[in-house]
Structure 1
Amino acid sequence: MSDNDHDLADAQRRHWQDTYTAHPGMYGEQPSAPAVHAASVFRAAGAGDVLELGAGHGRDALYFARQGFTVQATDFSATGLEQLQEAARAQDVDQRVTTAVHDVRDPLPLPDASVDAVFAHMLLCMALSSKEIHTLVGEIGRVLRPGGTFVYTVRHTGDAHFGSGSAHGDDIYEHGGFAVHFFPRGLVDALAEGWTLNEVHAFEEGDLPRRLWRVTQSLSG
């Protein structure tokens, strides 16, 4: 990682910490639509445990737990995870939820073939380089059991914010303090090499609206 990449990563970490502190539960209590879809995919695949990357304050992790999954939730914001833990206790699902502060630029803190499913809503399109994203997906493949499923969402190059704001290179643009790596379709296909690419579903979210892909891919059993 270059010095500029380190600076951007550190700035993003501080920005998310400050954001979660200033706006507790900023995304509300209802799960995202991708999480609702992922739960049905995971259940159909026979998954029992889910790893969520970039869980934030936990609206999706808590939904998975309420659906009966055992959930491991990670985020680089300790503040967000503290809010998640408090909500898990309030919803009486804390026995099914564990949390860990973790930066996805580092190896995942899990053994090989130790989880059934992985979920990441807009985590891969944070301020990560293409190389870092490839490394992360390799780590996800390492921790998934054979036949495991990975569902992720990313903003793509058809989004209204792509190409505007502060450019950081590698299709990363910053708006309002949040840096986003906008995915071209070729990156989605490259990340699926060695996997079965089950679905690339286009959808919209929010007021702009943000334009995203929901990607489902699985390891061979």
Structure 2
Amino acid sequence: MDASDWDRRYAEARQWSVEPNQTAARLISALPAGRALDVAAGEGRMALWLAAQGWRVEALDFSAVGLQRGQQHAAADARVSWRVADVRTADLGERDFDLVLVLYLHLPRADMRDVLARCAAAVRPGGHLLVLGHDRENLSRGVGGPQEDAVLYDTALLGEAVDGWQVAQLEQIERSTDSGTAIDTLLFARRP
């Protein structure tokens, strides 16, 4: 899908809950607030939650409509900057962020490797990278998510981005949904 497809989806209806992703929120809540990059932020639910926790956040997405939805829900004092850009070509910076968050961004593997490498490069020493998305095994024993193997995660793909880092979690996790159990891949790592 491209930006115009997502703009249409966001214009038709809210796509996800306004609540933060619970797995990400649990892991992040132990970190001191700093500067965060929310990659593929969509409607901004994580960006808004991070801002409420004291983080300064850059929310990046290629859907202007999705980001506008987030801005509509932002408190007047929310510390979020909203940037419309395609993560595949956007400048993510070098060692600029205490936290880079990538939730449910699914791209072809070559694109995803590049994006993950650039996301890792954007993390400051001592900062964290958190990546969470649908695992390849979701096709055979899970529910939801893209149904195309070439855009799904596995631990090998995510682990490539953080070679030499302190990896707190790199694993498959199960997530309960209304439709059944989804299989996700989680990476949470600290840059030395």
Task: Please confirm whether the aligned pair reaches a TM-score higher than 0.5, indicating the same fold.
Answer: yes
Q: Share of identical aligned residues, percent? A: 24
Q: Distance in 2 between matches of 1:189 and 1:19?
A: 32
How many residues end up aligned between the 2 structures? 189
**What does 1:123-142 correspond to in 2, within 5 Å?**
123=105, 126=106, 128-142=107-121
Q: What is residue 114 of structure 1 aligned with on the other side?
A: 96
The normalised TM-score by structure 1 is 0.76
Q: What is residue 49 of structure 1 aligned with on the other side?
A: 35
Q: Distance in 2 between matches of 1:160 and 1:209?
A: 12
Q: What is residue 55 of structure 2 aligned with on the other side?
A: 69
Name the CA shift for 1:185/1:115 in 2 (closer, same or farther; >3 Å): closer
Q: Deviations over 1:55-112 (max 9, x none)?
A: 1111111111111111110011000001111111xx3333x110101111114343x2
Q: Deviations over 1:2-40 (max 9, x none)?
A: xxxxxxxxx3333211110101x3212211112312322
The normalised TM-score by structure 2 is 0.86
Give yes or no for contact 1:62–1:93 (8 Å, CA) kept in 2.
no
Give yes or no for contact 1:107–1:139 (8 Å, CA) kept in 2.
no
Q: What is residue 170 of structure 2 aligned with on the other side?
A: 200
Q: How far did residue 148 of structure 1 move? A: 1.1
**What does 1:21-32 correspond to in 2, within 5 Å?**
21-23=11-13, 25-32=14-21
Q: What is residue 176 of structure 1 aligned with on the other side?
A: none
Name the CA shift for 1:211/1:143 in 2 (closer, same or farther; >3 Å): same
Q: Does 1:103 align with 2:86?
A: yes
Structure 2 residue ranges without an equivalent (≥5): none
Q: Distance in 2 between matches of 1:106 and 1:71?
A: 20
Name the CA shift for 1:34/1:93 in 2 (closer, same or farther; >3 Å): farther
Give yes or no for contact 2:92–2:119 (8 Å, CA) kept in 1.
no
Structure 1 residue ranges without an equivalent (≥5): 1-10, 173-180
Q: What is residue 92 of structure 1 aligned with on the other side?
A: 76
Q: Does 1:19 align with 2:1?
A: no
Give yes or no for contact 1:21–1:79 (8 Å, CA) kept in 2.
yes
Q: Distance in 2 between matches of 1:155 and 1:147?
A: 27
Give yes or no for contact 1:203–1:214 (8 Å, CA) kept in 2.
no
**What does 1:73-84 correspond to in 2, within 5 Å?**
73-84=59-70
Q: Distance in 1 between matches of 2:180 and 2:37?
A: 29
Name the CA shift for 1:92/1:205 in 2 (closer, same or farther; >3 Å): farther
Output the aligned Cα RMSD: 2.5
Q: What is residue 37 of structure 1 aligned with on the other side?
A: 26
